[in-house]
Chains A and B, each alone.
Chain A
């Protein structure tokens, strides 16, 4: 897979010692940092693999889910079962998206379960870690924190944590907003500060600017609201012992997940991605960079002429180029940094829009199915994010079916609701069950948030299709929230539509069981939307109250910085 001509020479890397079988305790005894020692022991106790093992129940649930999905597909795609023509065709399209996404997702997740296969790699990584801790391998490391108007206290927290990571490195705040407060903060904390005259290329441009001014072998990137633990470098860096590795990505985890149900929902949906999907992507050597909590090998970035700038999803585009050039990538499923999830509905939708837009750009403009230099698996994996967000089209269609039935008697299938439910329920329940088995919980609010994000994803699709301009905005930015009507008009209208359908459905021309199911579904959807819209209204109220109180009693900034 690796293109040997494009690889850097390995002179600067530690040679793997022959004493690989030496017990870790004796090998690490020379290390003078007891904390690292503990980390190592803990890591050693994790067994032969650094990748999480899928539970057997999860695997079985997924295998049965594939069978149930197949049976359901046989039923739905049989034209004999079709009802009215246009709704049936739409239903088939929606099912292709849903089933296609589920198949890709299940295959990815199952591929992520590699059991003990990577034991060999791990010994090498452990040796490299020992050399790193023993300071016999001393790579140069730069830690970049790109900022652009994020709240100063978040930047301070990240910069301090980045500065205090073990293993020698330099920390640089790359401030695109040229904020004197951030500059003072950097001075006080003893980290470097970098700004530039323009904002060309947004975040990627900012980082490329920093890369030009740095000569470090390894570049670590943390968004301003992602706080690394002190062990970040020790755990992640040794994976670069494999010369083909271009970057090591670690998961995003949210420390503020208890701050609001919105943050909790973000956290839960992120877990599906980082705990289940990413290990599978790693198995296909197609993990993409998510732009934070990762280490790049400088030679790799140089090999693709810097981070890709002409987009807002620079991280994925850069990953594609790296994979095209034959580099390999590592996903490390260990939480080494804690970030901030969006706490308000507005910020959540904004983030969803950005991510969906990035994923659709890859699909529509990147055309992963014909990218040169990628394996077929990698091409599929680069389509997976877009496929995930495309599901929103299908979800919208399925959400609108009950009201359409109640009001206009539209039926895409010839069978009644029960006949459909009996065939669909096993498949849906099994996929949810598998997630429950693996992650330990299902979070109702996440489902509500997913429903609310549907119109946003659809908008992101058309925005990417017509290449509309839009800038980059930080997730937890300061400042007043706009009115709920301005960012959730469709969601509010959907509530009205569901309630209307419910009212109309109460006067049925002929009442039957499908009518009852549809009535219940309408109420459930309306309820989910109302809960989130109410939350958004509350966000706005809290935001106004906060900005009033902060105006009345300003506090000195020095207090918040050590």
Chain B
């Protein structure tokens, strides 16, 4: 707005201001006077007019009060449940979709040759050093029979070797896992993972076995994939069994629930994300 306009506007408002100020003084007396008129009116026959005046009435007070109390109750309820949950989660995390995991050991052919005999089958338990397959490798000075043995005590998960079939160097023969090295893979956000100490205690409810104790030993690295959404990336926390014998015979892949403590008993432990690997 250009200056002259506002000057005029100002002047107009100043005039009215003065007028208002004058009546502002009388207003104090006047408001009482207006009420006096009303009482006079109330005595007259036309008094009904005032009560009949249609006007926007605020909700009756008790309804507003009920509404307010209901909303406050909702607030209180949410506050109590959420605060309790979070205080609960302050020292430990409730986790789900935890996978009992075994790392596969794949036994490969060391050289070209052929399979002669496979004494193990899928699911069979083998001791450390037990023969898994008898193979014949091609050597410079003719074929040589070799026994392929189990590197550790374990369970056979797959057998690809078939007697009589030729082998190339690096062909898969047998896969197995070590029940003693079962661990739990705990999916959680990186934010949550950052709050957990290395060496914290964890507890999982394995069906058929009951509570199983474990110790947080690290996080599996996630190199991500192109196009993976940030919030879909989850840290895979690793918790090793405290007593590996307890789960001998359990099937890897079982999904369990449990809790993970955030603080290790040993205060010098670093947080998992910065601690030693799994």
User: Closest residue of chain A to B27, judged by CB?
Assistant: A153
* Chain B 228-241 interface 0/1 with A at a Cβ cutoff of 8 Å (1 = within): 01110000000000
B145 contacts partner chain A, Cβ-Cβ < 8 Å: no
The 8 A CB mask of B1-29 against A (1 = contact, 0 = none) is 11011011100110111011001001101
The stretch from B72-80, B135-143, B152-160 touching chain A is B72-80
Known A-B contacts A489-B65, A504-B83, A510-B189; the reply to A560 vs B26 at CB < 8 A is: yes
B71: chain A residues within 8 A (beta carbon): 489-490, 493, 496-497
Q: Known: A253-B13, A490-B71. Contact between A504 and B33, CB under 8 A? A: no
Partner of A560, one of B30, B76, B86, B230: B30
Taking CB atoms, residues of chain B closer than 8 Å to A32 are none
By a CB distance below 8 angstroms, the chain A residues around B29 are: 555-556, 559-560
**Interface pair A181/B68, CB less than 8 Å apart:** no
Among B2, B35, B64, B65, point to the contact of A554 (Cβ < 8 A): B35
Query: Are B68 and A153 neighbours in the complex by a CB distance under 8 Å?
Result: no
Instruction: State whether A550 and B32 are in contact (beta carbons under 8 Å apart), knowing that A227-B19, A504-B79, A504-B82 are contacts in the complex.
Output: yes
- In the complex, which residue of chain A has the Cβ closest to the Cβ of B16? A338
Chain A residues with CB below 8 A from B31, complex form:
151, 153, 478, 546, 550
Q: Please judge, given known A-B contacts A478-B35, A509-B89, whether A179 and B55 are in contact too, CB under 8 Å.
A: no
Residue A473 CB within 8 A of the other chain: yes
Closest Cβ–Cβ distance, residue B31 to chain A (whole Å): 6
Contact B5 A336 (CB under 8 A): no
- Does B267 have its Cβ within 8 Å of any Cβ on chain A? no
In the complex, the answer to whether A559 meets B26 with C-beta atoms within 8 Å is yes
A494-512 to B contact mask, C-beta < 8 Å, 1/0: 0011001001100111101
Query: Contact: B37 with A181, CB < 8 Å?
Result: yes
Find out whether the CB atom of B79 lies under 8 angstroms from the CB atom of A503.
Answer: yes
Question: What residues of A have a CB within 8 angstroms of the CB of B37 in the complex?
Answer: 152, 179-181, 557
B260 to chain A, nearest CB (A): 13
Interface residues of A in 273-320 (CB under 8 A from B): 275
Query: Contact: B9 with A554, CB < 8 Å?
Result: no
A492 proximity list for chain B (CB < 8 A): 68
**1/0 per residue B23-52: CB within 8 Å of A?**
100110111111111101100101001100
Contact B32 A42 (CB under 8 A): no
Q: Does A53 make an interface contact (CB < 8 A)?
A: yes
Closest A residue to B68 by beta carbon equals A489
CB of A560 within 8 A of CB of B23, answer yes
Q: How far is it, in angstroms, between the C-alpha of A487 and the C-alpha of B56 when the chains are bound? A: 11
How far, in whole Å, are A213 and B7 apart by their CA atoms in the complex?
Answer: 39
In contact, A227 and B12 (Cβ under 8 angstroms): no
With A52-B2, A489-B67, A507-B90: A178-B49 Cβ-Cβ less than 8 Å: yes
Contact between A336 and B12, CB atoms less than 8 A apart: yes
- Contacting pair A473 B19 (CB below 8 A): no
A: number of interface residues (CB 8 Å): 77
CB-based nearest A residue for B189: A510
- Neighbouring B residues of A489 by C-beta, 8 Å: 59, 64-65, 67-68, 71
Chain B CB within 8 A of A4 CB = no
Instruction: List, in ascending order, chain A residues with CB within 8 A of B72's CB.
Output: 493, 496
Across the interface, which residues of B come within 8 angstroms of A486, CB to CB?
58-61, 64-65
Label chain B's interface by main secondary structure: helix
Give residues 320-358 of A contacting B (CB, 8 Å).
Answer: 333-338, 350, 353-354
- A135-165 at interface with B (beta carbon < 8 Å): 148-149, 151-153, 156-157, 161
Interface stretch (choices B96-104, B190-198, B242-250):
B190-198
- Say yes or no for B87: interface residue by CB 8 A criterion: yes
Q: Which residues of B have CB within 8 Å of A42?
A: 4, 7-8
* Cβ-based interface call for A11 (8 A): no
B30 in contact with A471 (CB, 8 Å): no
Residues of A within 8 A of B1 (CB): 52-53, 275, 333
Shortest CB-to-CB span from A32 to chain B, Å, is 21
Segment at the B interface, from A43-51, A119-127, A372-380: A43-51
- Say whether A407 faces chain B, with CB atoms less than 8 Å apart: yes
Taking a contact as CB atoms under 8 Å apart, the answer to whether A483 and B61 are in contact is yes
A39 interface contact, C-beta 8 A:
yes
CB distance from B224 to the nearest CB of A (A): 16
Report Cα–Cα, A551/B34, bound state, in Å: 11
Q: State A397–B183 Cα separation when bound (angstroms).
A: 45
Chain A residues closer than 8 Å to B50, beta-carbon distance = 149, 177
B208 within 8 Å of A (CB atoms): no
Chain B residues closer than 8 Å to A500, beta-carbon distance: 75-76, 78-79
A392-406 residues at the B interface, CB under 8 angstroms? none
Interface membership of A243, Cβ < 8 A: no
Given known contacts A554-B35, A560-B26, is B83 in contact with A354 (CB within 8 Å)?
no
Q: Note all chain A residues with C-beta closer than 8 A to B119.
A: none
B4 — which chain A residues lie within 8 A by C-beta? 42, 45-47
Instruction: Assess whether B8 is in contact with A39, with CB atoms less than 8 Å apart.
Output: yes
Q: Which residues of B contact A180 (CB under 8 A)?
A: 37, 40-41, 44
* B54 on the A face (CB < 8 A): yes
* Contact assessment for B17 and A255 in the assembled complex, using a CB-CB cutoff below 8 Å: yes
Interface check A426, CB cutoff 8 A: no
The complex places the Cα of A449 from the Cα of B55 at a distance, in Å, of 23
- Smallest beta-carbon distance A148→chain B, Å: 8
A255 and B13 contacting across the interface, CB-CB below 8 Å: yes
Chain B contacts with A in 166-202, Cβ cutoff 8 A: 189, 191-192, 194-195
Tell me if A367 counts as interface (CB < 8 A to partner B): no
Contact assessment for A470 and B56 in the assembled complex, using a CB-CB cutoff below 8 Å: yes
Residues of A within 8 A of B191 (CB): 509-510, 512
User: Is B16 within 8 A of A471, CB to CB?
Assistant: no
A selection of 6 A-B contacts at a CB cut-off of 8 Å is A177-B50, A335-B13, A485-B61, A486-B59, A554-B35, A560-B27
Instruction: State the B residues within 8 Å of A (CB).
Output: 1-2, 4-5, 7-9, 12-13, 15-17, 19-20, 23, 26-27, 29-38, 40-41, 44, 46, 49-50, 53-56, 58-61, 64-65, 67-68, 71-72, 75-76, 78-79, 82-83, 86-87, 89-90, 189, 191-192, 194-195, 229-231
- Taking A179-B41, A275-B1, A470-B56 as known contacts, 17 extra A-B pairs with beta carbons closer than 8 A to each other, sorted by chain A number, are A43-B8, A45-B4, A52-B1, A152-B34, A153-B31, A180-B44, A199-B54, A227-B16, A335-B13, A472-B56, A478-B38, A485-B65, A487-B64, A489-B67, A496-B75, A507-B90, A557-B36
Q: Which A residues are within 8 Å of any B CB, using their own CB? A: 39, 42-43, 45-47, 52-53, 148-149, 151-153, 156-157, 161, 177-181, 199, 202, 227, 229-231, 253, 255-256, 275, 333-338, 350, 353-354, 407, 414, 470-473, 478, 482-483, 485-487, 489-490, 492-493, 496-497, 500, 503-504, 507-510, 512, 546-547, 550-551, 553-557, 559-560
The 3 lowest CB-CB distance pairs between A and B, nearest first, are A471-B54, A555-B29, A493-B71
